Amino acid sequence: MDMDIPPAIPVQPTRFLDKLRSFIRMRGLAYATEKTYVFWIRRFIRFHGRKHPETMGSADVEAFLSHLVLQANASVATQRVALNALIFLYREFMGIPLDNLNYEAARKPAKLPTVFSPEEAKTTINNLEGEYRLIAMLIYGSGLRINEVLRLRVKDVDFGMQQLVVRSGKGNKDRITLLPSSLIQSLTRQIEAALHQHSSDLAKGYGSVYLPAGLARKYPNASQEPGWQYVFPAAELSVDPRSGIRRRHHMIDRTVQKNFRIAIRSAGIRKPANSHTFRHSFATRLLESGYDIRTIQKLLGHADVRTTEIYTHVVRKGGFGVRSPIDDAF
């Protein structure tokens, strides 16, 4: 089972981290945020010899944040994530503010993103087959993150408006991005195949897809409806670790990443590229076409335009036509 399904916790948790997880879920934060916060809070506790957070305070937080820079060589972004997790722990969960923190701040400049040339992107995609090829084309053609593609459900593909709806993306926010014209036929076939698999599962007594707990309670029959099925279902059924129900989840990212690595290597590309390089390349191609930075920010789902502006350092701006890069390549 993929790791994007929150593990079960006791109804009345007694362990500290279980209580924290329960609090995070009551706040409605994304599971990715939960995993990140728990990771850094656990690391903070271990750094201080497994002392309970209630016995620690600002000085201990400062020591840990400084350690990340001085000994662990953490980046600005990494230190910021750790800081956010600890502020949430103390201010939100424990009701203890952390004011006027004094720690060694990371000063490492942000790395420029690795970007494919149009030829490299096309060659890499041509080295992929079937679902893996379509997933790469969606990342490059729509600017999605790999898990945003894998979590797409049938109802989130709007052929009429020619758009994709990304549900609970990074930051637990929904957004809309474009559906390239050149991918409509392939995506239609993929959905038809997914729904055929769903019908087969239903006939065998399965076919109930995973839904977040709130949705599952609100719409008890939705898990078997076609619209809620994953566009890229897993090849095999698996057991949901929370409910014990045998069902078909979506494809897992590590399998897709493995195929991408092979395709990149076969293309003779030596730069440090991966699935996210397609997303970087999407933004770069649009900037090269003179597309507005704010619009690109919305398509990518960046909370801060400064995150998007990093692409201006690797781009050569061209004309003003706005087309998905995938439409010109295929």
* Active site amino acids: 145, 170, 276, 279, 302, 311
Cα–Cα distance, 37 to 130 (Å, whole number): 36
Nearest alpha carbon to residue 178 among 148, 150, 132, 141: 141
Q: What residues does 166 pair with on adjacent strands?
A: 175
